[in-house]
Amino acid sequence: MSVQRALLFLCFTIIIAGCDKHIVEEANVVSVPDINESYHWPSKGSFEDYYNNPITKELVKKFFNGYTRNPSLTKMILDESIKQGVSPSLVFALVWAESDFNIQAINQNPTSIDRGLFQLNNRSFPHMVEADFFNPELNIKTGVSYLKGCLDKGGNEVVALAMYNAGASRVAQGGTPKMTLNYIDKILEYKSTLEDSFKVALIKTPSKAAYQTKAHKKVKLLLDRKNTLN
C-alpha cells in the first residue's frame, strides 16, 4: 500500500468514527427505537383516553396548564375527574366559571359563603371547616364528587349543572332561575371550546412517529455512507 493510499484510508477511518459518534449522539437525543416500533397519536378519543396514554399524557397536562397556570392543580383535577368518571373538560369548564382556578376565591352570599376552586357553600358542606375549603386537594375531591352526584341524579350535563348551581330541590320543583340557565350555557360553551382547542393542538403537535422516522432516515444515511466507504 502506498503512503498516499494509506493516508487516504486513515482519513476515511476518522470520518467513519465521527459518523459513528454522531449516530450514538442522535440516538441519545431522540431515543431511536427498534425498527419495528411505531408510535402515533390516537386518531380520536376522549381526554381520559389521551391522559391514560403514556405517549400523550404530557400533552394533555401541558394543554390544561395553559388555562390553570398551575401544573399541580392541573394534575389534581385530571386525576380526580378520571378517578370519579367525570369528563375532565366539564370539570375544568366548571372550575373556570366558578373561580377561574383561584384557590382562594370567595363569594359572599346573603346567608352563606362560597369558597375555593369549586365555590363550595358552607351550608351545603357543614362538615368542612374554613381551611378545608381552601385546601385544593380536598376542594377538588369534594367538588368533583358533588358534580358526579348531580350527574347521576340529573342524567345529563344540563340538569346536573343546574342542580350544582341552583340546588337539586329547586331544580326538581322547576324553579331554575335565568342566571342558572346563563351559567349552564357559559360552562357548556367553554367545555366545547376546550375540546375543540385540544383537537387543534393535537393536529399541530408532530407525533412521536414523525420524530422517529426522521431519526431513522438520518441514521440509515450515515450507515449507508459507512458501508459505501468499507
Nearest to 121, CA basis, from 129, 131, 113, 109: 113
pLDDT of residue 5: 56
Q: Which residues contact residue 25 at a Cβ distance below 8 angstroms, ignoring those fewer than 6 apart?
A: none
The 3-state DSSP class for residue 120 equals strand
Residue 38's pLDDT band (cuts 50, 70, 90)? very low
The answer to whether the beta carbons of residues 80 and 113 sit under 8 Å apart is no
Q: Over the stretch 147-157, which tens digit does the pLDDT of each residue have? A: 999 999 999 99
Residues 6+ apart with CB under 8 A from 60: 47, 50, 51, 78, 198
Q: Quote the cell numbers at residue 131.
A: 381551611
Q: pLDDT tens-digit profile of 90-149?
A: 999 999 999 999 999 999 999 899 999 999 999 999 999 999 999 999 999 999 999 999
**55 confidence band (pLDDT: 50, 70, 90):** confident
Query: What domains can be seen in the chain, in order of their start residue?
Result: 3-39+208-229 (no CATH), 47-204 (1.10.530.10)
